[in-house]
Amino acid sequence: MTLPADWITHLQKTPLPVRAEVHRRLTAVLQRDEIDQGELVGWLRRDPGACGFVMGSAARVQRAKQRDAPHSLDHALSLLGDTWSRQQIPKLPILEETITDELQLAGYLVAVARSLHAARHAESWLVELRDTSYEIVVVATLLHNFVELALWRDAPDIMRSALIQVREHQTDTLGHAVGNAY
C-alpha cells in the first residue's frame, strides 16, 4: 500500500485507534459528574494513540494562539477543558474494531508495547534521578512510536517489508528499512 501524498494532513485529522480497555476506562472517567484529572491522565498514558490525540489537539490550539505546545498531558487537558474531553475523547476509534487483520493488529500491538515499555523505563530513570519534570519525557517517549503506529494502521505492507529487511539483516534499523520500503 502506498501512502497518500497528504499523509501528514491525514495523520492530523485521523486519530490513531485506542485499545478497547483503555477506551472503556477513559469513557467511564469522563462520564462521572466530576472528572478525576489524575486518573484521566493515568489512562491516557496507557495508550500512545490516546496520548497523541490529546497532545496533538492541545498543540494545534496553542499554535493557533501563537503559544508554546503543552508540556504534559495534565497541561494539555487543562488547555482543552473538560467539555472538549467529554466530547472528543470518547469519539476515538477503538483498535480492535479498526484493525481487524491479525498480522496488522499484531504489529500495531507490538509497537504499542514497545512505546509503553520505553515510557516506563524513562519514568523510572527520571524518578530515580529525582527529576520532577519527568512527565514531558514520558509523553515524548510514548509519542516516539507514533509514526510506526500510523504506518501499521495506514500502510501495513510497508511495515511488514521493513520488518523482513531488519530480520534478514539487510539494514540495521526499522527506520532505515521503512525508508527503503517507501
> What are the residues facing 94 on neighbouring strands?
18
Domain boundary among 91, 107, 127: 91
User: What was the pLDDT predicted at 128?
Assistant: 82
Residues 86, 12 share a domain: yes
State the average pLDDT over residues 170-181. Answer: 84
Q: What are phi and psi of 94, to 5 degrees?
A: -95, 130
In a domain, 105, yes or no: yes
CA-to-CA distance for 141 and 134, rounded, in angstroms? 11
Is 53 within 8 Å of 15 (Cβ atoms)? yes
**What domain range includes position 127?**
98-181
pLDDT for 103 equals 93
Question: Domain check: are 74 and 122 in the same one?
Answer: no
Domain end, chosen from 91, 111, 129, is at 91
Instruction: Quick: pLDDT tens for 126-173.
Output: 878 887 666 777 788 878 888 889 999 999 999 999 988 989 999 988
1 within domain boundaries: no
* Global confidence as pTM: 0.85
Residue 2 in domain = no
Task: Let me know if residue 170 belongs to a domain.
Answer: yes
Residues comprising the chain, all counted: 182
Could you give the number of structural domains in the chain?
Answer: 2
The pLDDT tens digits of the residues spanning 19-63 come to 999 999 999 999 999 999 999 999 999 999 999 999 999 999 999
Same-domain pairing of 29 and 85: yes
